[in-house]
Amino acid sequence: MNKFTTDSVIAIIGGTMGAGIAQVAAKANHQVLLFDVAKGAAEKGIDNIRKGLGKLVLRSRMTQLELDALVSRIVPISDIKQLSSADLVIEAIVEKLEVKQMLFRQLEDICHENAILASNTSSISITAIGAKLLRPQNLIGMHFFNPAPIMKLVEVISGLDTDKQVADNIFELAINWGKLAVHAKSTPGFIANRVARPFYAESLRVLQEGATDIATIDALFRECGGFKMGPFELMDLIGHDVNYAVTCSVFEAFYQDQRFLPSLLQKELLDAGHLGRKSGRGFYQYPQNTQTENSKQQPDLALDTQLITIEGDLGIAETLLPLFENNGLKINRVPAADHQQTSEGRIIIGDAILMLTNGQFTTQRATDLKCPNLVHVDLSLDYQKAKVIALSPCSTLSLQALNCVIALFQTIEKTVVVIDDVPGMVLMRTVCMLANEGFDAVNQQVCNEDAVDIAMKAGLNYPCGPIKWANNLGLSFTLKVLNNLAITYGEDRFRASPLLQRKVAQQQLDVIKKSITTG
Ligand code: NAI
């Protein structure tokens, strides 16, 4: 099986995605043949590429000569038989199994025996497409993200019969095209579209349970989580018809696993015809600035004590401490009480006790700990950089104690958002569920851990890979959050991945072994 070189001829079939992929291949100096069944569509695609690149020339990021050379390497083709010289054909046509099977079967007769056939499908099984082919070993998934020239990720998807050398050659080709490639097995949603489901599902769930309003949840994702867009803004942009269809297809493909359960809230929007930006209304009204001020922001309050006590280890939230000190607060550090474990540390200020949310209701944990003045703090990507902090008090917290906590965070220049008591709050439960899905994909041999994090960052612009995030949070704490969510809701949806359980056990065993060997 020959590796690809710049002499390899690349054929692309399709419209929007097709033109983007053609641009990527031409930029990497290949001769590109662009075909679309619709008359004039290939020419239109090339015209769009020229227009897009023209903007780069205006901004001096490309010369007119480079633009002309790149575009001249893309040849519009009007008859599919002219693709006979192609060494690789990438298909980006309509998302229908039978139509793709028919096209590839036709290509097998037109192209030479060693030609590789790739599909850009986002949801169809590569194994199923290959079932109708003479040479399924030469078929592979090459899943680009929209817009293909900008988004870095390419998921290289192997079907059951795909030759390993073909997968390796395509992986190397994608890297040579300046992309970040990941290997994955052909399973529903591949990596990114599978692992991303909780990003939408958990937000829809906390909204449905009345934790807070839409704009506040979006603001928390941006300001605490470091995401470019909140889930509701993103769903409105993608379109609820498309986003809901992806969720339903993953749900059905996994034999209705509750982990992928679609949301009634989103179905309501769909039923009403509120598809998002494209219909002028989704979670927000358009046109408008979606980044509205979150309504739960607290007014400025004065702090009447300068002393805070830190009991135990705050885990990922330890980075708050230098901020407190730099703002003139005195920290009294005391060891954790016996019953406390890592990341179960607390901040005590005035009458209030603050702890990182652990997946329980604040009120439930306050009851368990016999601590009627407990406040939960939500997860942040970076507690130092986050502009906002989200709090959720237990039902018995006094207004005076809550005001003291609000003033504490205002002292370190955080905007404080108070949300209702929901298990795992907003970011904590979402990030733990994202990581859980990532671990489960790895557990089921779809891909490795690095691939999960690369896919989520390069394919969907996540600020941090979910597996790395869970490691920063602590795997045993991540598992605890999931187990608490599972107990609280009693739903299979929150079951922890066996791989996560195994890793936590492994860490605990390492500590036991160390303590035995050191006597
Ligand atoms: P599109 O509707 O813009 O383009 C599809 C093109 O395929 C049309 O121009 C149509 O004329 C042509 N076509 C249909 N049947 C054909 C045939 N038998 N032979 C040749 N051409 C044919 O669709 P889009 O959005 O570019 O998606 C194409 C594929 O890429 C789908 O499989 C989709 O799942 C996948 N994809 C789409 C992404 C997106 O954001 N739009 C992202 C990643 C993958």
Is residue 366 in a domain? yes
Burial class (CB in 10 A: 0-12, 13-18, 19+), 37: middle
Is residue 25 in a domain? yes
* Integer Cα distance of 323 and 262 in angstroms: 41
* Integer Cα distance of 319 and 383 in angstroms: 6
* Integer Cα distance of 369 and 350 in angstroms: 18
Q: 144 — phi, psi (to 5°)?
A: -85, 160
Burial class (CB in 10 A: 0-12, 13-18, 19+), 417: buried
> Does 30 participate in catalysis according to the annotation?
no
Residue whose CA is at the smallest distance from ligand 1 atom 38: 146
Within this chain, do residues 29 and 137 fall inside the same structural domain, yes or no?
A: yes
Is residue 433 in a domain? no
What's the order of all strands across the beta sheet hosting 153-158?
74-77, 32-35, 10-14, 88-92, 116-119, 139-144, 153-158, 180-185
Calculate the alpha carbon distances from 9 to 12, 106, 134, 457 in Å: 10, 18, 22, 30
Helix (H) and strand (E) counts in the chain: 21, 15
Is residue 434 in a domain? no
Give distance in angstroms: CA of 91 to centre of ligand 1. 8
The one-letter amino acid code at 454 reads: I
Within this chain, do residues 22 and 152 fall inside the same structural domain, yes or no?
A: yes
- pLDDT for the residue 252: 96
Decide which of 123, 158, 186 is a domain's last residue. 186
Query: How far apart are the two ends of the chain, measured CA to CA in Å?
Result: 57
Within this chain, do residues 236 and 357 fall inside the same structural domain, yes or no?
A: no
Active-site residue, from 8, 119, 120, 122? 122
How many other C-beta atoms are found inside a 10 Å radius of the C-beta of residue 393? 24
Decide which of 133, 168, 186 is a domain's last residue. 186
- 138 Cβ contact list (under 8 Å, min separation 6): 114, 115, 116, 117, 163, 166
Give distance in angstroms: CA of 120 to centre of ligand 1. 8
- pLDDT for the residue 291: 53
Within this chain, do residues 332 and 354 fall inside the same structural domain, yes or no?
A: yes
Calculate the alpha carbon distances from 495 to 136, 257, 436 in Å: 36, 11, 9
Closest-CA residue to 89 (of 56, 129, 48, 123):
129
- Is any ligand 1 atom within 6 A of the Cβ of residue 93? yes
Residue whose CA is at the smallest distance from ligand 1 atom 44: 122
User: Which CATH number fits the domain that encloses residue 337?
Assistant: 3.30.750.190
- Is any ligand 1 atom within 6 A of the Cβ of residue 146? yes
Give distance in angstroms: CA of 94 to centre of ligand 1. 4
Within this chain, do residues 368 and 325 fall inside the same structural domain, yes or no?
A: yes
pTM of the model: 0.94
* Integer Cα distance of 492 and 211 in angstroms: 22
Within this chain, do residues 328 and 255 fall inside the same structural domain, yes or no?
A: no
Concatenated DSSP letters of 236-293: HHH-HHHHHHHHHHHHHHTTT-GGGPPPHHHHHHHHHT--BGGGTBSSSBSSS-S-PP
* Integer Cα distance of 295 and 450 in angstroms: 38
Decide which of 399, 418, 437 is a domain's last residue. 418
Under DSSP, the state recorded for 8 is S
Within this chain, do residues 119 and 38 fall inside the same structural domain, yes or no?
A: yes
> Does 193 participate in catalysis according to the annotation?
yes
Within this chain, do residues 240 and 143 fall inside the same structural domain, yes or no?
A: no
- 455 Cβ contact list (under 8 Å, min separation 6): 153, 155, 182, 184, 191, 192, 195, 447
Give distance in angstroms: CA of 14 to centre of ligand 1. 5
Is residue 287 in a domain? no
Q: Give 10-residue mean pLDDT values along the chain (519 residues).
A: 92 95 98 97 97 97 97 97 98 96 98 97 96 98 96 98 98 98 97 97 98 97 97 96 94 96 97 96 84 63 85 95 95 80 82 97 97 98 97 97 95 96 98 98 98 98 98 97 98 97 97 89
Give the number of the atom of ligand 1 that is nearest the alpha carbon of residue 103.
18
Within this chain, do residues 313 and 400 fall inside the same structural domain, yes or no?
A: yes
Within this chain, do residues 26 and 42 fall inside the same structural domain, yes or no?
A: yes
Domain count, the chain: 3
- Is any ligand 1 atom within 6 A of the Cβ of residue 38? yes
User: From start to end of 318-367, where are the E strands?
Assistant: 330-334, 346-349, 352-356
Calculate the alpha carbon distances from 292 to 223, 224, 261, 281, 387 in Å: 13, 16, 29, 15, 15
Is residue 28 in a domain? yes
Is residue 5 in a domain? no
The one-letter amino acid code at 304 reads: D
> Does 122 participate in catalysis according to the annotation?
yes
Sign (positive or negative) of CA dihedral 156, 160, 162, 167: positive
Within this chain, do residues 202 and 181 fall inside the same structural domain, yes or no?
A: no
User: Which CATH number fits the domain that encloses residue 255?
Assistant: 1.10.1040.50
User: Which CATH number fits the domain that encloses residue 138?
Assistant: 3.40.50.720
- Is any ligand 1 atom within 6 A of the Cβ of residue 103? yes
Within this chain, do residues 33 and 145 fall inside the same structural domain, yes or no?
A: yes
Q: H/E/C letters for each residue in 134-173? A: CCHHHEEEEEECCCCCCCCEEEEEECCCCCHHHHHHHHHH
Is residue 477 in a domain? no
- 474 Cβ contact list (under 8 Å, min separation 6): 315, 316, 342, 343
- pLDDT for the residue 471: 98
Burial class (CB in 10 A: 0-12, 13-18, 19+), 10: buried
Active-site residue, from 143, 183, 240, 376? 143
> Does 143 participate in catalysis according to the annotation?
yes
- Is any ligand 1 atom within 6 A of the Cβ of residue 120? yes
Give distance in angstroms: CA of 40 to centre of ligand 1. 15
- Helix (H), strand (E) at residue 383: none
Boundaries of domain holding 23: 10-186
Residue 297's beta-bridge partner residues?
417
